[in-house]
Amino acid sequence: MTKVTAPRTRKVRVLATLGPASSSPEMIEKLFAAGADAFRINMSHGDQESKIPLIEAIRGLEKKLGRPSTILADLQGPKLRVGKFDGGKAQLEKGARFVLDRDPTPGDATRVELPHREIFEAIENDARLLLDDGKLVLRVVEHDEDQIVTEVEVGGTLSNSKGLNVPDVVLPMAALTEKDRSDLAFALDQGVDWVALSFVQRPEDLAEARKLIEGRASLLAKIEKPSAVARLSEIVEMCDGVMVARGDLGVELPPQSVPPLQKRIVETARRLGRPVIVATQMLESMIQAPTPTRAEVSDVATAVYDGADAIMLSAESAAGDWPVESVKMMDSIAEAVERDPAHGERVHFTVLHPDPTTADALAEAAKSITTTVTATAIICFTMSGSTARRIARERPSVPIMVLTPKKETARRLGLLWGVHAVHTKDVGSFEEMVAKSKRMALRHKIAGAGDRLILCAGVPFGTPGSTNVLHVVRLIGDELKNYGEER
C-alpha cells in the first residue's frame, strides 16, 4: 500500500532554511514534524559538496513519510562590496567628502576602492550609496569613469569588504554571476524543485536563468530592489513564483514603505496566479530567544491574513539556538490565524479576475461550489500543476488534494497555498477518476462518509493544459470499506 502522511490542517506553507543548526537528517525530520512544509538551501554559504547531504536527507524523509518533499535552492546573486582599508577600517564623518575609485591601494577616511565597473557606468548625481546594510549613507556629488565623489550623509565606521547597495539606479549587471551559474547547474543536477534568483532588477534578468533551467525546476524571483518594484507585474509574469525579500528592501527603501509594498507584491502575485513567499526577519529574535516578540507574532500573522502562499524562516532555523521551536511557533501562529472566522474574508481582499479560459472558469467555479453544496475538499488531477495553481489562487475554504503521476510536479506544489500533493498513477477514464478520487480522499483522511468532493480534471486524461471537467461526488458509507490498496 502507498504510504500516507496526513495533510496539514493549515493552508499557508512554512519554508525553513537549513544550515549549521539544522543539517542532520534527524533535525530535518524534527523540523518537518514541527511544521516545515518545504526546505530552503542557501547557496551563499558553504561549498556545493556540503549541500549534497542536505538534499539526500530531505529526499530520504520523502521516502520515509511517503509525502513529496520540496527543495528551494537560493542563488547568491551579485554581491557589491567596497575594497580594503589601511588598518582594516576607517571612520567616515558626516558632511565629509568620500571618494570611491578604481585604485586597489588600501583606503582611508577619504577614499576606498570600488571594484565594480558597472556602478561607475550607471551612477548618477544625487544617487544614494548605502554601506554596511544601510548603516552609512553617501550622496553622489560628481562622478566620472574612474571615481565617484560623494558627501557623507550618515557617517560611521566602515571596514574591509563591507556590502554596498545602490537603490536609485538600475545597474547594468546580470542577475547571474559565474558562481550562480555553477551553483545553478549543481542544484539542477541534484534535482531541486525551485530555484530562487537574487538581484532581479528587470524582467530580462529572468531570461538567462529560465534558459539554463530548461524546465527542470520552477523559477522564483526575489523582489529585493526598488527597480524590481517599478516593473513588478512584468517580473511576476516572467517567473513561476516570487519572494518578498524584506531584508534588502528594508535597506534600499525607507522601513515604513516595506509593509505596504509587501501587500502590493502579495496582491500582484495572487492576481497573476503565482505563489508568493514572505521572507526575512519573521521571527528574528528567536535566533537567540526561545520565544518571539509580540511584534514578530503580529508580523507573521499579517502575512497569513494577506493570503501569502508561504512564510519563511531564515537564520531562525538555519543558525539559531531554537530551530525546532521557531518552526513550531510559525506553525502555531498560522493555525491560530486560519482559525479566526475573519480569516476567510481577509484572504479575499485581493480582487481576482480569471482569464477567459475554461481552466480559470472551472477553478473559480470549484471554489464557489464548495460553499454552495458544503463540499469537504477539491480533488485536482494535473500533469503540469497549472490546474492546482489556478485553484489555489482562488483561496478556497477547503483543502486541495492534487493527484499527479509526475513526481516533479508533486514536489513543486509544496509551496502552494492549501495544496496536499500526492504522487500516484494516472487515470484513464472518467469512472476511474471518480473511484480514485474517493479512494485517495478516504485514505488521506481528507473526507469521510457523507462528504461531498469537487473533482477537477482534463479529458482526455494525461494531456497537459486540458482542464475541462468539474464534477461533484458524494462518499457513501459502503465505500469506506472498499478503498483497499492502490491499483
Catalytic residue numbers read 40, 81, 222, 280
CA of 45: how far to CAs of 73, 76, 263, in Å?
12, 9, 30
What's the chain's length in residues? 487
CB 161 within 8 A of CB 81: yes
Residue 280, C-alpha cell as written in the block = 526575512
Q: How far apart are CA 14 and CA 191, in angstroms?
A: 21
Provide the phi-psi class of 156: left if phi over 0, else alpha when psi is between -120 and 50, else beta: left
CB 129 within 8 A of CB 140: yes
Strand partners, 312: 15
Q: How far apart are CA 40 and CA 318, in angstroms?
A: 9
- Report cis status (omega within 30 of 0) of the bond before 460: yes
In sign, the C-alpha dihedral spanning 170, 268, 73, 249 is positive
The b/e string for 107-131 (b: 16+ C-beta within 10 A; e otherwise) is bebebbbbebeebbebbeeebbbbb
Report helix, strand or coil for 62. Answer: helix
The one-letter amino acid at 356? P
Tracing cell 575609485 back to the chain, one arrives at 101
Q: How far apart are CA 268 and CA 282, in angstroms?
A: 21
Q: Where are the beta strands (DSSP E) in 286-409?
A: 310-313, 377-381, 400-404
Report helix, strand or coil for 305. Answer: helix
- Of the candidates 245, 177, 236, 170, the one whose C-alpha atom is nearest the C-alpha of residue 209 is 177
Angle made by CA atoms 362, 447, 484, in degrees to the nearest 5: 110
In sign, the C-alpha dihedral spanning 298, 302, 305, 308 is negative
